[in-house]
Amino acid sequence: MRIFDPHIHMTSRTTDDYAAMAAHGVQALVEPAFWLGQPRTSVGSFVDYFDALIGWEPFRASQYGIKHHCTIALNPKEANDPRCREVLEVLPRYLAKDGVVAVGEVGYDSMTPEEDEVFATQLQLAKQFELPVLVHTPHRDKAAGTTRTLAVVKESGLEPHSVVVDHLNELTVKEVADSGCWMGFSIYPDTKMDPDRMVVILQQFGTERILVNSAADWGKSDPLRTYATGQAMLAAGFTEDDVDQVLWRNPVAFYGQSQRLDLTGTEPDDTYEGNSILRGARA
């Protein structure tokens, strides 16, 4: 099983996590810029964080044979803090980098006017830099937040296929499926989605335009939830080719729209029409 985790915050994870991910087939990942639990109070903290996302963290990942890319944005939570607003001015510098494959995470947290403005501004930056967009949906008032998110995306003039709307669940997936945007799901130990519920959604909506991520960060989370979802899919009767589509080819197709994805050195698909040609040679 080869895995591309399209959303994971490796800055918060240990080298043991990198080793375990590599051992379970994770060969590539995207680390979205988000908040760090502790609020930041100046633009300098963001600049250092962005520098780590395009410098130090890809180096750490490479030591475990994992390709690391990132997304860059001012996240919705900190968009509300006037001390962080200047971050918008440094974004163009980072959106020009090779390792940056999307604008994100943008979207809503508390659905304030400040969030409206910062979200819309960054959607225009995505157009300008010809990058896809990773949109976070709020944890509180999720369904209403998702509806509003889709309206803002539509208004921006961006093509739906260049946008993934993330952290979906049973109640929000249909609206996003109908919009033409990509559907993102975060698989968590306790909250958000779990592998078995994910399988049910895949049975209902199919395997296209769907991204499955661990969204592992500094909270209680698990970088191997992508692998667990692949196993749950196989147990439910999906083929290895279905799993490869969801856990590898879909994220490659979505982030590949940036024209900046560099996957040299990753191993090719070891399945052909659902049969493993390695016959269990790898975990």
- By beta-carbon proximity to other proteins, the closer residue of 60 and 197 is 60
Q: Which helix (H) or strand (E) holds 29?
A: strand 26-32
Shortest distance (Å) from residue 45 CB to other proteins: 16
Question: Which of residues 30 and 199 has its CB atom nearest to other proteins in the complex?
Answer: 30
E strand spans, 108-169: 133-136, 163-165
- The torsion angles phi and psi of 166, rounded to 5 degrees, stand at -105, 170
Smaller CB separation from other proteins, 2 or 68: 68
Binding interface with other proteins (CB under 8 A): 51, 54-56, 58-59, 93, 96-99, 259-260
Query: Which lies closer to other proteins via its Cβ, residue 97 or residue 142?
Result: 97
Spatial contact of 34 and 75, defined as CB atoms under 8 Å apart: yes
Could you tell me which of 151, 91, 150, 152 has the C-alpha nearest to residue 126?
91
Enter the DSSP assignment of 187.
Answer: B
Q: Give me the least distance between CB of 180 and other proteins, in Å please.
A: 27
Q: CA-CA distance, 65 to 53, in Å (whole number)?
A: 17
- CB 36, min distance to other proteins, A: 20
Shortest distance (Å) from residue 93 CB to other proteins: 5
Of the pair 51, 170, the CB lying nearest other proteins is at: 51
CA distance 240 to 273: 8
CB of residue 94 to other proteins, shortest distance in Å: 8
Tell me which amino acid residue 171 is: L
